[in-house]
Amino acid sequence: MKESIRHKLDKTSERYEEVGRLMADPSVAGGSRQFRELSMEYARLTGLVALYSRFRGLEGERAAAEAMQSDPDPQMRSLGSEEVGRLKQELETLQAELGVMLVPRDPRDDHDIFLEIRAGTGGDEAAIFAGDLLRMYARYAERRGWQLETLSESPGEHGGFKEVISRISGSGVFARLKFESGTHRVQRVPATEAQGRIHTSAVTVAILPELDEVDSTEINPADLRVDTFRASGAGGQHVNKTDSAIRITHIPSGLVVECQDERSQHKNRSRAMSLLKARLKAAEQEKRDAEEARARKLQVGSGDRSERIRTYNFPQGRLTDHRINLTLYRLEDIVDGQLDDVIDPLLQEHRSELLAEQTAAQ
């Protein structure tokens, strides 16, 4: 274990003991705000400190086993070697777990998200691929027990979507999908291509965490223009009969959001306002992330929608994530919603970067 990480864990253990003493102090009332904050911090540190205590205990056992390797008795030496091997594996596993626990948790990880997919360069083929990506995320959501609902869509002329906006709700949605924002490039032979030539098209994806009421951005009603219109496309008998769809324009920023999924104008307005607040917050976050990325040089997590993050090469059955140089030859499974093999390495890389950044600052 690096000394910088050990030092951080030692400081964390000292803080844990200090918080315990403060909570036991009679001057800190049980129902006070200070006591509640201390209790939350104590609970947050308990698992990490317990794991570190176990790690140090195993280090002591390994030292004893290493001493056995110098014993005159051959059987004792053999036993010592076996113990050293076993303990080495356990310590490596615990060290990896400690590294994950040391990384600060993103408070947005449990939030639901808005998923925005827009066709870019490539015309009809880009729109078709936008539809493929929506289906990929829908199947992944289904695998994880999440709910996906489409809020607005603009169909492509030959299938797919020029633009489609959905909401995905469930446990840990943003935590899993936060690194999907960016430009997704596809290389394949379009169905309309008579010569069999490979075309390259692009689609942009944006992942916006839905805000809690506490985090919600306050918007001056005077800055909004609200229009109602009749929903278009699939949607049942109510389509083209009632002005239930909502379009909200945020005049200062020029942002426009629509929601036409619900029959209720009130529900569509609520969804559209939630999406608008998420977009405004995301714009602020992107600006901060860009500034931090310039300083930190993190490979993952800039959230820049113009950044080319991934290539889907259908003739070769290959997916490449350019941020971490990940290449997988399981494209058919991935576009069918088996995304964990792509997402897990991204999350691991991100945690490693943050941990390295933290320890370098010690």
Rounded Cα–Cα distance for residues 174 and 208 (Å)? 8
* SS3 category, 234: coil
Whether the model pTM is above 0.85 = no
Q: What is the pLDDT of residues 286-337, one digit of tens each?
A: 777 666 555 444 456 555 556 789 999 999 999 999 999 999 999 999 999 9
Q: Give the residue among 309, 303, 311 at the shortest CA–CA distance from 323.
A: 309
Q: Taking the domains of the chain in order of start, what are their residue ranges?
A: 3-102, 113-353
HSE (CB half, 13 Å, CA atoms) of 14?
6
Q: What is the mean pLDDT of residues 125-150?
A: 96
Per the listing, tokens 């104008």 go with 265
CATH 3.30.70.1660 fits 113-353, yes or no: yes
Rounded Cα–Cα distance for residues 273 and 264 (Å)? 14
The pLDDT of residue 236 is 44
Q: What is the pLDDT of residues 94-136, one digit of tens each?
A: 988 887 788 777 888 889 999 999 999 888 999 999 999 999 9
The pLDDT of residue 89 is 93
The residue type at 268:
N
Q: What is the pLDDT of residues 195-213, one digit of tens each?
A: 778 999 999 999 998 887 5
Question: Is-contact 153 166, C-beta < 8 A?
Answer: no
Does residue 51 surpass a pLDDT of 60?
yes
The pLDDT of residue 253 is 85
The residue type at 340:
D
Rounded Cα–Cα distance for residues 210 and 277 (Å)? 8
